[in-house]
Structure 1
Amino acid sequence: MTLFRLTQAVRDRKVELGHAVFGMALGLAFCGSSLLVDMQVRSWRGVDGSVYGTFTSTLMHSLALLSPLVVGRVFWSLGKHERRLREKLMQLSQTEVMLREQAHHDPLTGLHNRAHLAKVLEEGIATRTWARRGALIYMLDLDDFKHINDTLGHRAGDLVLMEIARRLEAASGPEDLAVRLGGDEFILVHFPAPDEALPERFAEILIASVGTPIAIDQTLIEPGTSIGIARVAHDGSTWSDVIRAADIALYEAKAEAGSSYCLFRPAMRDERDRQSVLEDDMRRGIDAGEFELHYQPIYGTESGVVRSFEALVRWNHPERGQIPPLDFIPLAEATGLIVRLGRNLLMEACRTAASWPKPVGIAVNLSPLQFKDPHLVDHVSDALRESGLAPGRLDLELTESLILEASPRVRQAMEALRRLGVRITIDDFGSGYSSLNNLRTFHFDRLKIDRSYTREVGIESEEADIVRTIVGLSRCLRMETVLEGVETEDQLAFARSEGLTEVQGFFYARPMTKMAVAEHFAQQAASTPLDAARRAASAAA
């Protein structure tokens, strides 16, 4: 062990020892040469020039014997500084290599990262080598990955990402490139074999590979993925265009249920560009006040009297005219603009309803995404306070999708809204998958039956039986019922015979402007009691 330590010490101090030996040799040469020179000088002078005589003639030669040690020590110090300098240079070189490695690799999965992909993709497009080889970009996004992080923790999420990265590398060809873009998004650059006909076939292989269950902490996870496919050079002339094409195709794939894939088509880019322009117009339109509320009356089934109005938004675009909600509401939800738009519309609806005769109420639709706004309850409270509208006259309509998997935040928001005193309606009931437990848990005030059931209720049909069942259920849960989409007298007669509380539809009135609603109430106020009695009798007939 002692010999090993000595050997290791000599190896560690190799530079210093080399310099010290050289220094001692130099000192010894100085000592010997000075003695020889002095001997020659003494001989010229006729003095004893022997070695002994010369060495003993002066103390200087005795001191010169120390020169190998002195010079050797100086050179040892120089060697020590050189060794430290070499070590620092080596550390800098290693750090540079590590930083270069980190700059082009993902630290979690070990895959290449976006910077490396951009570099090699740009080179491949510029030299046209990837186009000649038919390179394909497969952009993958894991389905419901956030649910894994939320339920099992980020450690489990990291393990899933590492396993997915391993599977992508296993499914890759020898020249393919697997990349992690960030989060749960990956890219695989695939160079198809000559006999590989369709890009979709490799996408199916990736879906099958990713979808194999993963066991983590005795929990079996079945990851799903959506894939967007783009062709290098064919779907874009630059690396950013190709990546954007794959991203657009991925967006289309995610719209499908379950794990799926989509091959990019130029029409998709045109639609995305149109949506981008519409988004910019929407931002400007919200600030410019281009969004207007129309109000459709909801009538008491038996009385035929207006009990409330539903606020329906319209967009008065300065160039495209009036844009229907189906063309901009999904975009507003996708971009998050629905929160700001919904807040403005809620305030306007409350102010308008406050000017109506009591107890006529107002129904305002809330998007599920508005419940992600932590200030939603405060906005409702502010709208009631600033408008002076009684809470009981405000009815907030929610969709079934919101309560299907209601998060703690949604539950807390609904409880807070209850405490404010506003009414809560479940809208378009029957179009989703609401359970009896959800209906019982959330204590809705009103249930609006989806208009898809209204078309055939005038005759004995399956839809009529379903509506009867829903009405019976709502009675058990002490909820009012509204039949939407009433357009014929037979549908109205069915609503009356089955005991629905309210009806809404074109049979009575189409959505109207704020001014038209004001005129309606003005005419109603100007009519005599006899006229009102006749209208009620006519509605009940």
Structure 2
Amino acid sequence: MMTVLNCVYHQHNPWLVLAAAVVCIISSWGVIRLHGRARDREGLQRVVWNFLTAILAGSAIWSTHFIALLGFDAGVPVEVDPALTVLSLLVAMVGTSVGFWVTTLGSQRLSPALGGAIVGLAIVAMHYSGMIAYRAKGIISWDWPYVYASILLSVTISAWALHVASCKAGKHAITFASALLVLAIVLLHFTGMTAFRVEPLMIDASVSNPVALQALGFAVAGVAFLIGCAGLASYLIDDGVRADSYRELQKMAMSDGLTGLANRRGFQERLEQEIQIANATGSSFALVGIDLDRFKEINDLRGHAAGDAVLRVLSHRMAATLSSSEFAGRVGGDEFAAIHRMESQASLMDFVGRLEAILNAPIDFDEYHVLPGASIGVAIYPDNAADKATLINNADLAMYRAKADVSRAVCFYQSSMDETVRQRRSLANDLREALERDELTIHYQVQTVISSGEIIGYEALLRWEHPVRGFIPPTEFIGIAEENGLILQLGEWVLRTACMKAATWEPPYKISVNISAVQFAYTNLPDVIAAILKESGLVPERLELELTETTIFADKDRALRILRQIKDLGVNVALDDFGTGYSSLDTLRSFPFDKIKLDRSFIIELESSPQAKAIIRAVLALGRSLSIPVLAEGIETEGQLALLKKEGCDEAQGYLLGRPAALEHILASGQIAIMDRSARASLVPASPAEKIAAGREESKQLADAGSLAERGWSIRRR
């Protein structure tokens, strides 16, 4: 080793040696980096990166050798063969290309070391082919132990370098591998040059121009430096592109593609940051949960394009109103969430007010006004929760409370909500089991003609007698059924059961069944009704469906289209709770209802309030002008009944006329009898031959129906 160092110090130009060292270090670091890119790629990209690696490696090895060679003082005149010099460059590039390609064969554990050994052989081949191009005027001889040592050092250290680079052992692996590659190139050159011996044949050195050779060496060093920088620049550019791509992918992963707001993952990450800030500073912030009220109806009526447009508009409006201390994201299909760092209670109320205004403002779509509406729940950290999961849960509880309460769109979390939610969840499970175990029943409340007392039909009312809690009113469990998706199954059971029972009645009274807003939103409700009518054998004209104005108002165009499909089946449709909706007159104008049911809230004040009496008188006049009969609900006193009769009300229903009762009790009272099989079959003749017999039976039923109706009225009066 000392001999090698002496050779370096005494026989080489130190400035060219320094230039060769700089080129070698920069280029080797770039080679290892580019090789890493090639190893991480597949297909054509790997081929391209391997090509760039080979170009830079060949240039680095050849330049280091050639620069140092030009700075070598052989003591005799020298010349350089251009063709052989270029050939040595090609040898370096081709040899290193093969070596780096073998290194990237990941199927073999020894591939990196084997490829590194080939790179070492390429360094050896380049050096000694370059020495053939070095023409010294003297007798050349070689010290073969140094030659063998140079080969061994080059192959061994190169294999070690690429093994380290491929294993990525530790954060300094790239630097260590680069240093090993530099060492392999340098030791090969100077050990090989130590083995080089020249005996002068002539003393005159005029043929050789040392200054020109040194100038050429510096020129080559400059070009090699530029090549190394170009290789390094390609790596840095790719690194920058990869960083940009990573940031873009991260942004895409954290953002909602439709709205541009943060998605669930992005919002969760921001929420964790806000919790850390609040813990560190002792501050608080509000988590706001948002659920759109009529998004499903918008999708069903206008299509998904309209739904997407609504989401985009709302998101843009939210983004435009957010300050630097506020954040919003889309965390579900029609669910949003927002964060507000609290400065005061007033700042929170201002933020919630802005959100409420945005979510309730109309949106124009294809010449239609869409009103999305939303339910908003608010929970405050750390006042309402000590961790992220609890905070999210509490905000959801508040939001669902707001959704269940039609009187308000914004609800703040309260600790009592936890117990309420647990009770509701327990009741929902019990309701599901009650439906499966056939624990639900239907009670029937009579409807009569006010002028004569004649029974015209019954309203089917669902009842639930809980085995532990006792009677649970429909006002409590119907909302739970709607929230938990049970209402469709429950509503269909009520409709089917009521129709099956009514089909056996004698006389054939009408049966009225309530349809909830959730049921009505079900797109194939008319098909369900038609199937039940066919299954039960009930004549369509005997079925009356009751809908509230709020059900229709949620999506008027769609509602009217569904109502017309139901009317086409022959089924009657009544407008329930009339007078308490949004636009009663417009609803009556848009669709010809078969009946108006006057809400009981007006009947309660009928005897004491002139205003209630005036409203009832106006509704009755409206019904007469539109030829729509009016039924008054909630009749509880003789005075109410007398006033309604005086004002010309058509029909009535209430506790005075008959409380809801099980069918067994009504049968026992004699108001209804069960029709036998032959009588039922005669109502729907199976063939023309049976029409005469069917007609006779129907005549008998009609005659009996009149006497039974009179008997039912007299029973009630007693």
* TM-score between both structures, scaled by the size of structure 1: 0.77
Counterpart selection for 1:100 from 238, 246, 250: 250
Find out whether 1:22 has 2:70 as its counterpart.
Answer: no
Q: Specify the structure having the higher radius of gyration (Cα).
A: 2
Which residue number corresponds to residue 94 of structure 2? 74
Greater percentage in helix: 2
Residue 376 to residue 224, structure 1, CA distance change in 2 (3 Å): closer
Native 8 Å contact 1:377 1:417 kept in 2:
yes
In structure 2, distance between residues paired with 1:393 and 1:146: 32
Shift of 1:292: 0.9
In structure 1, distance between residues paired with 2:455 and 2:375: 48
Alignment of 1:428-447 (within 5 A): 428-447=577-596
Native 8 Å contact 2:385 2:391 kept in 1:
yes
Find out whether 1:265 has 2:417 as its counterpart.
Answer: no
Counterpart selection for 1:164 from 295, 311, 317: 317
In structure 1, distance between residues paired with 2:514 and 2:438: 19
Aligned residue for 2:604, secondary structure, equals coil
Which amino acid in structure 1 is aligned with residue 353 of structure 2?
Answer: I
Larger deviation: 364-373 or 72-81?
Answer: 72-81
Which residue number corresponds to residue 360 of structure 1? 509
Native 8 Å contact 1:211 1:224 kept in 2:
no
Larger deviation: 314-323 or 71-80?
Answer: 71-80
Residue 492 to residue 140, structure 1, CA distance change in 2 (3 Å): closer
Alignment of 1:107-506 (within 5 A): 107=257, 111-119=261-269, 121=271, 129=279, 132-140=282-290, 150=302, 153=306, 156-157=309-310, 159-169=312-322, 171-173=323-325, 177-183=327-333, 185-192=335-342, 196-198=343-345, 200-208=346-354, 211=357, 227-253=376-402, 261-404=410-553, 406-458=555-607, 461-506=610-655
Shift of 1:167: 3.1
Shift of 1:367: 1.1
Native 8 Å contact 1:135 1:191 kept in 2:
yes
Residue 259 to residue 222, structure 1, CA distance change in 2 (3 Å): farther
In structure 1, distance between residues paired with 2:503 and 2:293: 45
In structure 2, distance between residues paired with 1:131 and 1:100: 28
Residue 131 to residue 389, structure 1, CA distance change in 2 (3 Å): farther
In structure 2, distance between residues paired with 1:127 and 1:364: 56
In structure 2, distance between residues paired with 1:221 and 1:232: 34
Which amino acid in structure 1 is aligned with residue 396 of structure 2?
Answer: D
Q: Tell me the alpha carbon deviations over residues 230-264 of structure 1, each in whole angstroms, 9 at most, x when there is no partner.
A: 22243233311101112222334456779964331
Larger deviation: 301-310 or 104-113?
Answer: 104-113
Which residue number corresponds to residue 45 of structure 1? none
Unaligned runs of 5+ in 2: 1-48, 105-230, 675-703
In structure 2, distance between residues paired with 1:534 and 1:223: 53
Native 8 Å contact 2:667 2:673 kept in 1:
no
Native 8 Å contact 2:513 2:544 kept in 1:
yes
Residue 105 to residue 466, structure 1, CA distance change in 2 (3 Å): closer
Aligned residue for 1:454, secondary structure, equals helix
Which residue number corresponds to residue 668 of structure 2? 519
Shift of 1:301: 1.6
Native 8 Å contact 2:318 2:355 kept in 1:
no
Residue 201 to residue 257, structure 1, CA distance change in 2 (3 Å): farther
In structure 2, distance between residues paired with 1:94 and 1:530: 88
Residue 190 to residue 488, structure 1, CA distance change in 2 (3 Å): closer
In structure 2, distance between residues paired with 1:532 and 1:31: 125
Shift of 1:207: 2.6
Native 8 Å contact 2:258 2:308 kept in 1:
no
Native 8 Å contact 2:458 2:511 kept in 1:
yes
Q: Tell me the alpha carbon deviations over residues 493-539 of structure 1, each in whole angstroms, 9 at most, x when there is no partner.
A: 223222222211111211110111221237889x9999987886898
Native 8 Å contact 2:658 2:716 kept in 1:
no
Q: Tell me the alpha carbon deviations over residues 82-108 of structure 1, each in whole angstroms, 9 at most, x when there is no partner.
A: 979998877666554443343334445
The count of aligned residue pairs is 504
In structure 2, distance between residues paired with 1:224 and 1:130: 37
Residue 376 to residue 97, structure 1, CA distance change in 2 (3 Å): same
Residue 535 to residue 214, structure 1, CA distance change in 2 (3 Å): closer
Residue 251 to residue 167, structure 1, CA distance change in 2 (3 Å): farther
Native 8 Å contact 1:398 1:424 kept in 2:
yes
Which amino acid in structure 1 is aligned with residue 412 of structure 2?
Answer: L
Shift of 1:540: 9.4
Aligned residue for 1:243, secondary structure, equals helix
Residue 497 to residue 540, structure 1, CA distance change in 2 (3 Å): farther
Shift of 1:342: 0.6
Which amino acid in structure 2 is aligned with residue 160 of structure 1?
Answer: V
Residue 411 to residue 108, structure 1, CA distance change in 2 (3 Å): closer
In structure 1, distance between residues paired with 2:498 and 2:394: 41
In structure 1, distance between residues paired with 2:672 and 2:294: 54
> What percent identity do the matched residue pairs reach?
32
